[in-house]
Amino acid sequence: MSASAMLSAPAFMSSAIVPAVLISACCLLLLTINNRIVAVLTRQRALHRELRDLLNKDTLGKSACGGGRGGSLSGSWPSFAGGACGPCAPPAAAAADASISPAADALISPAAAAALCADPAAAEWAAALEGQIADLRREAALIRAAVAAVLAAILHFLASGVALGIATFERRAETAAMVAFLLGLACLALGVGLMLSESMLLIAPLVTEERAVQRIKTFAQTQTRPASHVSLTVLAN
């Protein structure tokens, strides 16, 4: 028995190199994923601060609901459904307010929501910040799933190494080692696929911001066009 174990020891040593190398690769991948999730969380906190500062502006705090033009430019923010906001909203708009995410609900006070009713540009920008936060939340969820998949891969590779050691004394353990190794490869592939999906969302916050800026520009042009048209009419007369 010991002779066969001595003969299979070199095979075990050479076979154990593969799980060890893959575990090292998984650790490097985890380091990269950790840097990515730190960047996402930092950006999300910055957006939260920007949204809070926008809602706490003195110019918005002094505005009264209904004193402005009312409503969001795109109507994408649930707080402004139906062209009303906060406590001034009709029952239909109040029902739409229930769809606000918990994070946004904690940031948006009734006074700030009422002030945003009077400033469509600020309301549109707040809606853009809300959309970017939602995009980053989806990215964070994908990264968290990728971390779990890579950690599962490391555990399976460790199990395959242990099974290979047992296989030097019990040949039937080779099957368990192979199964654990294949499961580790599957988990690693899943983690890489999740990170690939997350990379597809990298520009989603930027696209949301660009669309909001474009809508604000379009709204500003529609607001200034009537005045210029009137002045030209007066000059013509």
| Selected residue with higher pLDDT from 178 and 111 | 178
On whether residue 18 sits in a domain, the answer given is: yes
On whether residue 227 sits in a domain, the answer given is: no
On whether residue 229 sits in a domain, the answer given is: no
| Selected residue with higher pLDDT from 148 and 92 | 148
C-alpha–C-alpha distance, residues 40 and 24, integer Å: 25
158: containing domain: 2-211
Task: Tell me what the pLDDT averaged over the chain comes to.
Answer: 71
On whether residue 237 sits in a domain, the answer given is: no
**CA proximity to 153, closest of 62, 45, 28, 60:** 28
Which class for 151: exposed (0-12), middle (13-18), buried (19 or more C-beta within 10 A)?
A: middle
DSSP per residue over 79-144, as a string? GGGGG--GGG--HHHHHHHTTS-HHHHHH--HHHHHHHHT-HHHHHHHHHHHHHHHHHHHHHHHHH
pLDDT of 144 over the 80 cut = yes
On whether residue 228 sits in a domain, the answer given is: no
Cα of first residue to Cα of last residue in the chain, in angstroms, is 112
C-alpha–C-alpha distance, residues 141 and 236, integer Å: 61
Residue-wise pLDDT tens digits, 193-204: 999 988 888 888
Burial 155-167 (b: 16+ CB within 10 A, else e): bbbebbbbbbebb
On whether residue 164 sits in a domain, the answer given is: yes
On whether residue 44 sits in a domain, the answer given is: yes
DSSP per residue over 198-212, as a string? HHHTTTHHHHHHHHH
Residue-wise pLDDT tens digits, 21-45: 888 889 999 998 888 888 888 888 8
Residue-wise pLDDT tens digits, 147-174: 999 999 999 999 988 888 887 777 888 8
**CA proximity to 115, closest of 123, 127, 125, 107:** 123
On whether residue 134 sits in a domain, the answer given is: yes
Structural domains in the chain (count)? 1
Percent of the residues in the chain that have a pLDDT greater than 70, as a whole number = 62
Which class for 234: exposed (0-12), middle (13-18), buried (19 or more C-beta within 10 A)?
A: exposed
